[in-house]
Amino acid sequence: MPSYAVTLLSGGLDSTTVAVQALQETGNLSAITFHYGQSHSKEVDCAQEIAGVLGIQHQLLDISFLGQVAWYSALTNPDRFPVPEDRSIDRMGASIPITYVPLRNTIFLSLAAAYLESQVLYALEIDGVSPKEVAALIYMAPNAIDYSGYPDCRPEYFQKMTEALAYGSKLWTEYQIPIQVKTPIIELSKMEIVKLGLRLKAPLELTWSCYQGGAVPCGSCDSCLLRAKGFEEAGVSDPALTRFRDG
Protein backbone atom coordinates (compact mmCIF):
# COMPACT_ATOMS: atom_id res chain seq x y z
CA MET A 1 0.00 0.00 0.00
CA PRO A 2 1.83 3.14 -1.18
CA SER A 3 1.82 5.80 1.52
CA TYR A 4 2.53 9.50 1.22
CA ALA A 5 3.05 11.39 4.44
CA VAL A 6 3.87 14.92 5.56
CA THR A 7 4.83 15.73 9.13
CA LEU A 8 4.88 19.09 10.88
CA LEU A 9 8.35 19.44 12.36
CA SER A 10 9.12 22.27 14.79
CA GLY A 11 12.47 20.93 15.91
CA GLY A 12 11.20 20.07 19.40
CA LEU A 13 11.05 16.81 21.29
CA ASP A 14 7.41 16.03 20.47
CA SER A 15 7.38 16.68 16.73
CA THR A 16 10.71 14.91 16.28
CA THR A 17 9.39 11.81 18.00
CA VAL A 18 6.28 11.94 15.82
CA ALA A 19 8.41 12.41 12.69
CA VAL A 20 10.40 9.26 13.44
CA GLN A 21 7.21 7.29 14.08
CA ALA A 22 5.75 8.62 10.81
CA LEU A 23 8.86 7.64 8.88
CA GLN A 24 8.83 4.14 10.33
CA GLU A 25 5.10 3.69 9.67
CA THR A 26 5.03 5.03 6.12
CA GLY A 27 8.57 4.82 4.74
CA ASN A 28 7.78 7.89 2.66
CA LEU A 29 7.84 11.15 4.57
CA SER A 30 8.52 14.80 4.03
CA ALA A 31 8.50 17.51 6.66
CA ILE A 32 7.22 21.08 6.84
CA THR A 33 8.57 23.62 9.30
CA PHE A 34 6.72 26.89 9.80
CA HIS A 35 8.82 29.89 10.73
CA TYR A 36 6.91 32.75 12.27
CA GLY A 37 6.93 35.25 15.14
CA GLN A 38 6.87 32.67 17.87
CA SER A 39 9.82 30.64 16.75
CA HIS A 40 13.46 31.63 16.76
CA SER A 41 16.05 30.50 14.25
CA LYS A 42 17.58 28.08 16.76
CA GLU A 43 14.46 25.93 16.61
CA VAL A 44 14.39 26.12 12.80
CA ASP A 45 18.08 25.18 12.60
CA CYS A 46 17.34 22.12 14.72
CA ALA A 47 14.42 21.16 12.49
CA GLN A 48 16.65 21.33 9.42
CA GLU A 49 19.34 19.27 11.06
CA ILE A 50 16.83 16.66 12.22
CA ALA A 51 15.30 16.38 8.73
CA GLY A 52 18.80 15.91 7.34
CA VAL A 53 19.62 13.15 9.83
CA LEU A 54 16.33 11.40 9.05
CA GLY A 55 17.02 11.76 5.34
CA ILE A 56 13.64 13.28 4.56
CA GLN A 57 12.66 16.12 2.26
CA HIS A 58 12.20 19.35 4.21
CA GLN A 59 10.13 22.39 3.32
CA LEU A 60 10.73 25.52 5.40
CA LEU A 61 7.91 28.06 5.13
CA ASP A 62 8.19 31.62 6.34
CA ILE A 63 4.72 32.59 7.55
CA SER A 64 5.78 35.67 9.48
CA PHE A 65 2.53 37.29 8.39
CA LEU A 66 0.77 35.11 10.96
CA GLY A 67 1.10 37.95 13.47
CA GLN A 68 -0.90 40.24 11.17
CA VAL A 69 -3.68 37.71 10.74
CA ALA A 70 -3.91 35.75 13.98
CA TRP A 71 -2.91 38.91 15.83
CA TYR A 72 -4.86 38.50 19.06
CA SER A 73 -2.43 36.25 20.91
CA ALA A 74 0.44 36.44 23.36
CA LEU A 75 2.44 34.19 21.03
CA THR A 76 2.15 36.31 17.89
CA ASN A 77 2.06 39.71 19.63
CA PRO A 78 3.72 39.33 23.04
CA ASP A 79 4.28 43.06 23.52
CA ARG A 80 0.65 43.91 23.01
CA PHE A 81 -0.89 40.90 24.76
CA PRO A 82 1.54 39.70 27.44
CA VAL A 83 0.92 36.52 29.37
CA PRO A 84 -0.45 37.63 32.78
CA GLU A 85 1.99 37.37 35.70
CA ASP A 86 -0.59 35.40 37.63
CA ARG A 87 -1.36 32.54 35.31
CA SER A 88 -3.56 30.69 37.79
CA ILE A 89 -6.56 31.57 35.60
CA ASP A 90 -4.97 29.89 32.61
CA ARG A 91 -4.02 26.87 34.61
CA MET A 92 -7.40 26.27 36.19
CA GLY A 93 -8.74 25.45 32.78
CA ALA A 94 -11.53 27.98 33.34
CA SER A 95 -10.78 29.68 30.09
CA ILE A 96 -8.73 29.24 26.95
CA PRO A 97 -5.56 31.26 27.62
CA ILE A 98 -4.24 34.28 25.73
CA THR A 99 -1.46 32.09 24.33
CA TYR A 100 -4.09 30.56 22.02
CA VAL A 101 -3.26 31.53 18.41
CA PRO A 102 -6.51 31.91 16.45
CA LEU A 103 -7.02 28.97 14.10
CA ARG A 104 -3.33 28.09 14.11
CA ASN A 105 -3.73 24.36 13.59
CA THR A 106 -6.35 24.96 10.89
CA ILE A 107 -3.86 27.16 9.03
CA PHE A 108 -1.04 24.65 9.56
CA LEU A 109 -3.15 21.67 8.49
CA SER A 110 -4.43 23.49 5.38
CA LEU A 111 -0.89 24.21 4.25
CA ALA A 112 0.40 20.75 5.07
CA ALA A 113 -2.58 19.19 3.28
CA ALA A 114 -1.95 21.30 0.17
CA TYR A 115 1.66 20.12 0.14
CA LEU A 116 0.61 16.50 0.63
CA GLU A 117 -2.15 16.69 -1.96
CA SER A 118 0.29 18.12 -4.51
CA GLN A 119 2.61 15.17 -3.99
CA VAL A 120 -0.12 12.56 -4.25
CA LEU A 121 -1.85 14.13 -7.26
CA TYR A 122 1.51 14.26 -9.02
CA ALA A 123 2.06 10.58 -8.24
CA LEU A 124 -1.38 9.65 -9.56
CA GLU A 125 -1.61 11.91 -12.59
CA ILE A 126 2.00 12.25 -13.76
CA ASP A 127 3.75 9.16 -12.43
CA GLY A 128 0.72 6.97 -13.10
CA VAL A 129 0.47 5.40 -9.63
CA SER A 130 -2.82 3.56 -9.20
CA PRO A 131 -5.13 5.28 -6.69
CA LYS A 132 -6.08 1.90 -5.24
CA GLU A 133 -4.89 1.58 -1.66
CA VAL A 134 -2.92 4.84 -1.72
CA ALA A 135 -2.78 6.42 1.75
CA ALA A 136 -2.32 10.16 2.33
CA LEU A 137 -1.30 11.05 5.88
CA ILE A 138 -0.49 14.17 7.84
CA TYR A 139 1.32 13.66 11.13
CA MET A 140 1.40 16.27 13.82
CA ALA A 141 2.25 16.44 17.50
CA PRO A 142 -0.44 18.22 19.51
CA ASN A 143 -0.38 17.13 23.09
CA ALA A 144 -2.92 17.41 25.86
CA ILE A 145 -0.36 18.52 28.45
CA ASP A 146 1.25 21.28 26.46
CA TYR A 147 -1.96 22.59 24.99
CA SER A 148 -4.57 22.08 27.62
CA GLY A 149 -7.74 23.87 26.67
CA TYR A 150 -6.78 24.84 23.14
CA PRO A 151 -9.78 24.05 20.95
CA ASP A 152 -7.68 23.05 17.94
CA CYS A 153 -5.83 20.35 19.86
CA ARG A 154 -8.86 18.20 20.67
CA PRO A 155 -9.66 14.93 18.89
CA GLU A 156 -13.14 16.20 17.92
CA TYR A 157 -11.54 19.15 16.12
CA PHE A 158 -9.24 16.86 14.13
CA GLN A 159 -12.25 14.77 13.14
CA LYS A 160 -14.07 17.84 11.76
CA MET A 161 -10.95 19.11 10.02
CA THR A 162 -10.38 15.73 8.40
CA GLU A 163 -13.88 15.93 6.90
CA ALA A 164 -13.30 19.47 5.64
CA LEU A 165 -9.98 18.42 4.06
CA ALA A 166 -11.75 15.56 2.30
CA TYR A 167 -14.59 17.68 0.91
CA GLY A 168 -12.22 20.47 -0.14
CA SER A 169 -9.73 18.23 -1.92
CA LYS A 170 -9.53 16.68 -5.36
CA LEU A 171 -7.90 13.68 -3.71
CA TRP A 172 -11.14 12.71 -2.01
CA THR A 173 -13.66 14.13 -4.48
CA GLU A 174 -12.08 12.53 -7.52
CA TYR A 175 -10.07 9.59 -6.19
CA GLN A 176 -11.81 8.75 -2.87
CA ILE A 177 -8.50 9.06 -1.03
CA PRO A 178 -9.01 10.74 2.36
CA ILE A 179 -6.34 12.98 3.85
CA GLN A 180 -5.89 11.42 7.27
CA VAL A 181 -4.60 13.42 10.22
CA LYS A 182 -2.54 11.39 12.69
CA THR A 183 -1.87 12.73 16.20
CA PRO A 184 -0.05 9.80 17.83
CA ILE A 185 1.06 11.54 21.04
CA ILE A 186 -2.07 13.56 21.78
CA GLU A 187 -2.84 11.60 24.96
CA LEU A 188 0.72 10.91 26.14
CA SER A 189 2.47 12.51 29.11
CA LYS A 190 5.89 14.07 28.55
CA MET A 191 7.45 11.07 30.27
CA GLU A 192 5.68 8.74 27.85
CA ILE A 193 6.81 10.86 24.89
CA VAL A 194 10.42 10.66 26.09
CA LYS A 195 10.14 6.89 26.42
CA LEU A 196 8.54 6.61 22.97
CA GLY A 197 11.27 8.76 21.43
CA LEU A 198 13.99 6.63 23.01
CA ARG A 199 12.31 3.40 21.91
CA LEU A 200 12.03 4.70 18.33
CA LYS A 201 15.68 5.84 18.46
CA ALA A 202 14.61 9.39 17.59
CA PRO A 203 17.54 11.87 17.56
CA LEU A 204 16.41 13.53 20.77
CA GLU A 205 19.88 15.00 21.25
CA LEU A 206 19.18 17.28 18.27
CA THR A 207 15.85 18.61 19.55
CA TRP A 208 15.24 22.05 20.99
CA SER A 209 12.43 22.83 23.41
CA CYS A 210 13.59 26.06 25.12
CA TYR A 211 11.51 29.18 24.48
CA GLN A 212 14.75 31.19 24.39
CA GLY A 213 17.07 31.17 21.42
CA GLY A 214 20.36 30.96 23.33
CA ALA A 215 23.31 28.67 22.67
CA VAL A 216 22.15 26.28 25.39
CA PRO A 217 18.66 25.64 26.81
CA CYS A 218 17.91 28.14 29.61
CA GLY A 219 16.68 25.41 31.95
CA SER A 220 14.11 27.66 33.59
CA CYS A 221 11.35 28.41 31.08
CA ASP A 222 8.12 26.39 31.20
CA SER A 223 9.17 24.30 28.25
CA CYS A 224 12.60 23.46 29.69
CA LEU A 225 10.99 22.55 33.04
CA LEU A 226 8.37 20.32 31.42
CA ARG A 227 11.03 18.59 29.35
CA ALA A 228 13.32 18.09 32.35
CA LYS A 229 10.45 16.57 34.33
CA GLY A 230 9.71 14.19 31.46
CA PHE A 231 13.29 12.91 31.29
CA GLU A 232 13.50 12.69 35.07
CA GLU A 233 10.33 10.61 35.30
CA ALA A 234 11.56 8.42 32.45
CA GLY A 235 14.73 7.85 34.47
CA VAL A 236 17.17 9.00 31.80
CA SER A 237 19.31 12.05 31.26
CA ASP A 238 18.48 14.46 28.45
CA PRO A 239 20.98 13.88 25.62
CA ALA A 240 20.37 17.38 24.26
CA LEU A 241 21.66 18.96 27.48
CA THR A 242 24.94 17.13 27.14
CA ARG A 243 25.19 17.95 23.47
CA PHE A 244 24.34 21.65 23.65
CA ARG A 245 26.36 22.27 26.83
CA ASP A 246 29.42 20.47 25.53
CA GLY A 247 29.02 22.02 22.10
Map the footprint of a copy of itself across residues 78-97, applying CB under 8 A: 95-96
Share of the chain residues as helix, strand and coil, in percent rounded to the nearest 5: 45, 10, 45
Bridge partners (DSSP) listed for residue 137: 5, 180
Which CA distances in Å does 240 have to 140, 192, 227?
Answer: 22, 17, 11
Rule CB under 8 A: say whether 65 interacts with a copy of itself: yes
Stretch that binds a copy of itself, among 136-144, 156-164, 194-202, 203-211 (CB under 8 A): 156-164
Q: How many residues lie near a copy of itself (CB under 8 A)?
A: 51
Stretch that binds a copy of itself, among 128-136, 146-154, 204-212, 234-242 (CB under 8 A): 146-154
Q: Which is nearer to a copy of itself, 173 or 220 (CB)?
A: 173
Map the footprint of a copy of itself across residues 190-219, applying CB under 8 A: none
Least distance to a copy of itself, CB of residue 158, Å: 9
- Beta strands (DSSP E) in the chain are 3-8, 29-35, 57-62, 135-139, 179-182
Give 41's contacts (C-beta < 8 A, 6+ positions apart): 35, 213
Least distance to a copy of itself, CB of residue 24, Å: 25
Q: Give the DSSP H or E segment for 173.
A: helix 170-175
Rule CB under 8 A: say whether 161 interacts with a copy of itself: yes
What is d(CA 44, CA 60) in angstroms, rounded to the nearest whole number? 8
Which of 24, 57, 148, 173: binder of a copy of itself (CB under 8 A)?
173
Say which amino acid occupies 98.
Answer: I
Which of 3, 28, 106, 189: binder of a copy of itself (CB under 8 A)?
106
The 10 Å CB-count burial string (b at 16+, else e) for 199-221 is: ebebbbebbbbbbbeeeebeeee
Interface residues toward a copy of itself, by CB under 8 A:
32, 59, 61-63, 65-66, 68-73, 95-96, 100-107, 110-111, 113-115, 117-119, 121-122, 151-152, 154, 156-157, 160-161, 163-170, 172-174
